[in-house]
Structure 1
Amino acid sequence: MMQQKGVLSSVSLEIFLYLNAYYLALFVLAEVLLVVYKAEVLPYPSNNIALDVVLVFLLAFIELMRIFMGSKGNLTEHVVASAISLGFLIPSVVLTLYFLLWQTFVLRVDVVLCGVMLSLHAVEFLFLCIALCTFPRAHA
């Protein structure tokens, strides 16, 4: 008699990765516009403007890689891709914390944007850990 394997990929993780992809577009657009606003209104050093713009796009690249690998690992139930996504979470959180804490000027809008991003990271971390614990057992 043939034994059927159940699907182990997490719908919840996939939903949050999907939402994070759209939120990332909003976050990048808002942060770039905020840097432009800060440069025009506040006494923002020009070196810091360039640094903030570069870091926004670096965060976007890391987040896109993390979301892609997380989705791929989840849908294929592949441990390595999910672990890579978990690894990309560390620099993503650090860059988000930069925009929350270490920018030259942090506005309330920055606090809200970064708070939502960090909340998404926390939930995805939880679901990724659950997926990483579930996937190996099914292939054993």
Structure 2
Amino acid sequence: MYNHLIETFIDAQTAAWRHYSAIAATEKRLFADMSDPAVRVPGTGEIVEELRRTYSVLADRIITKARQQFAIGAARPVVDRKSVLSHHAGLEIVVRTNAGRTLVVAQPDDQKFAPGDHVLLVSTNSGLRVTH
């Protein structure tokens, strides 16, 4: 969940940079004699600093939430042992997409996979599923 949040933020930053760059290039082409452009593309240093600030804030929030959930005397969820014990064996599959993203999918152990297999990611009501 947290990895998805961070990946989404990075994707948004990348898309914004691409759009700003395209608009700045168009502005430069249309108004070649300008000395003060209206569109300013953030530099690498600014983007890195924004990512660091965001990671720091998210890490603080994650740690705070974990401390609250696992504090001594904190309310604990009730575990129904019958439902836990009735679950089937499962797999945790790490998938690297063609776009370079890494996803982890947990699902029932009803298919066999080997490292390097080309697989399909199927979106279901209960989340992602990996299949051949």
Q: TM-score, normalised to structure 1's length?
A: 0.35
* Larger Rg computed on CA atoms: 2
- Answer 1 or 2: which has greater strand percent: 2
- Answer 1 or 2: which has greater helix percent: 1
Q: TM-score, normalised to structure 2's length?
A: 0.36
RCO higher in 1 or 2 (8 Å CA, sep ≥ 6)?
1
